[in-house]
Structure 1
Amino acid sequence: MTTSARHAVPTPATSAPAGRAQGRTPVHPVTFPRLVAAEWVKIRSLRSTWWALALAFVLFPLLAAMRSASVATIADDAPPGFFVGPAYVTSGVTLALLVLCGLGVVAVTGEYRTGQIRSTLAAAPTRLPALWAKLTVVVGLAFATAFVGTLAGWAAAAPWFDEIGMGVDLTDAEHVRLMIGVPLYLAAMTALAYAIGAVIRSSAAGITAVLGLVFVVEPAFAYIPWEPLQQLAGYLPTAAGARLVTSDSIGSIVTGSGATALGPWEGYLVLLGWVAAALVTAAVLLRRRDA
C-alpha cells in the first residue's frame, strides 16, 4: 500500500443544502381569515353557544304561533289592515335579543375567565385583529340565527294568516323592512353587547350592564315625565335601532312605542353609531391594558 493511500482523508458526506429546514413544520403567517377560522373553531366547541343559538331560534316560531293563534280569536272585531303579518312573525325578537346579547358578552368575557385570552392575543400580537375576528364570528352567528328564525316564525304563523286576514307581502316595502330588519337589529345589538363585554371583561357584570341598559335605563328615560329625557330616550341604542322593526300602524315590536322623530334607517344608523363608539372604546382599552 502506498503512503498516499494510507494517509488519504475520507471525503465528507454531502451536507443538506443551506437554508432548508429538516423535519420542521412550516410556519404560516397569521392572517385575518385564519384568525376568523380559529375563533369559529373555539366558539363552536362550546356547548353553551349552541344552547343559546337554539333557544334564540326556537323563540321565533314558538311565539309567532302563540301570538297568531291568540289574535285569531279576535280577528273578526279588528278593522281591515289592523294586523301586520311580519309583526307577528317576528314576535320572538325581544326574548331573542336577551339571549343573543348574553351570547355576545360571554363570547369575549369567557376567555378572560379561563385565561384563554392570553393564547388568543399571543396568536395576534397586535391584538386588534383578534378582537375583530371574534366579533365577525359572533355577529355572523347572531344574524344567521335571527334570519333563519324569522323564516321559521313565518312558517309557524302561516296557518292562521287566512283566519286573521294578514300575511307577509314581499312586494310591500314595510313588510320587507320588518323581515330583514329583525336580523340586522339583533346582529347590531349583539355587537354592542360584545363590545361592552370586551370593555368590562366580566361575564356577570357585562350581562348586568347590557340588560340594565336595555330593560331598565332606556325604559326609565322614556317614562320619566321630563321632556329632555324622553327626547334623549329615542336616541339610545335599543330604542333607536328598534325603529327599523317598527310598523307604521302598530308601533315598535321591541319597545312598544314608535314615538320618535327618527325614521327606520336613521334609527338604525344611530344604533350603529353606538356600536362603533363601544367597539372603539374596547379596542383602545385592549391595546392599553394587560390581558
Structure 2
Amino acid sequence: MAYFIQVLIDAVALGSLYALVALAIGLVFGVMKLINFAQADYLTVGAYSLVIPTAAATPSMMFGGLPWALMIFCVVLSVTVLALITERVAFRPLRNTDPTTLLISSFAVSYFLQSLIIMFHGGRPKSVSIGAALTRPIDIFGLRVGGVQFLTMTVALLLLIVLVLFLKRTSIGIQLRAAAEDFSMARLLGVAANRVIAIAFAISGILGGVISLLFVIQTGTLDIRMGIMPTVYAFFATVIGGIGSLPGAVLGGYIVGILSVFLQAYLPEEMRPFRDAGVFTIVILILLVRPQGLIVTSAAKERV
C-alpha cells in the first residue's frame, strides 16, 4: 500500500507538470489555432538562463546565483519576454495565413532557438545544482514525500488556482476564455485580438519559466532537447482532454502523467523501455472511444 501511495504521489507530481505545459499550449491554440511547438524551447531557454554561456560541463551561475525570489522573477521574466517577442515577430504577421504556415513558423522558431542555445552554450548537456535541499524527503502523516514532488504539486496547484481566478474574475481573463471558446465570435463582440493573443503568449511564457525551474530542480541537468518530451506529452494531453478546452488540457495533462508513472512502476522490468509506446497506445484507445476529447467546447461541437 505504501508503495502504491508513493507511486501515486510521483504520478500526480508529473501530471502537474504536464497539466501546466498543456494549459500553455491550449491557451495559444484556443486563440490562434496554433500548436506552438516552440513551447518546448521556452522551457529550454528558461533553464539555460540560469547559467552563463561557457563550454564547461559545470558552468558558472547567472540567474541561478541570485537569491531565490529574484532568480524566479528573472527566469520567468526572460521566458515571458521571449514568448512575446516570438508572437510579435514570427506569428502576428502570419496570423491570417493558412494554419499550416503558422505551424511551420513554430518549427522555425523552435530550431532557431535551439541553434542560439548551441551557439552560446554548445550542444553537450551541462550539470547545474539549484534547490539541493529539496531532494530531501518530507514526512507527511508518516509518508515520506520527496521535496521536489511536494514543491511541484504545490506550485502547480497555486498556479492553477491563480489562473482560474484570473480567467473567471477579471475582464481580460473572461475575454481570453471567450476567445479560446470561439475566437471569431469574440472578435465580433469587441475583443481586441492583438491584446488577447499577446496575453495568451505571456501566460505561456510565465508557465514555461516556472516549469523550466521545476525540471532543473528535478533533473539537475541542462540539455537542448529537455523541453521536447514534456511538450509532446502535453500536446497529447490537450488532444485527449479536448483540444481548445482549457479544463480539458489540465485533465489530459494529469491523465498522461499518471499513466506514464504507473506504467513505469508496474510494467514488467523488460517492458519498461516501451513505457512511452504504452502511454501513446492508451491515448489512441481513448481517442478511438471519444475522438472529440473528454471535454468538448461549444466551438468544437459546431465543427463536429
Q: Give the TM-score band, short-chain normalised.
A: 0.3 to 0.5
TM-score (norm 1): 0.35
TM-score (norm 2): 0.34
Structure with max Cα Rg: 1
Greater relative contact order: 1 or 2 (C-alpha under 8 angstroms, separation 6 or more)?
2
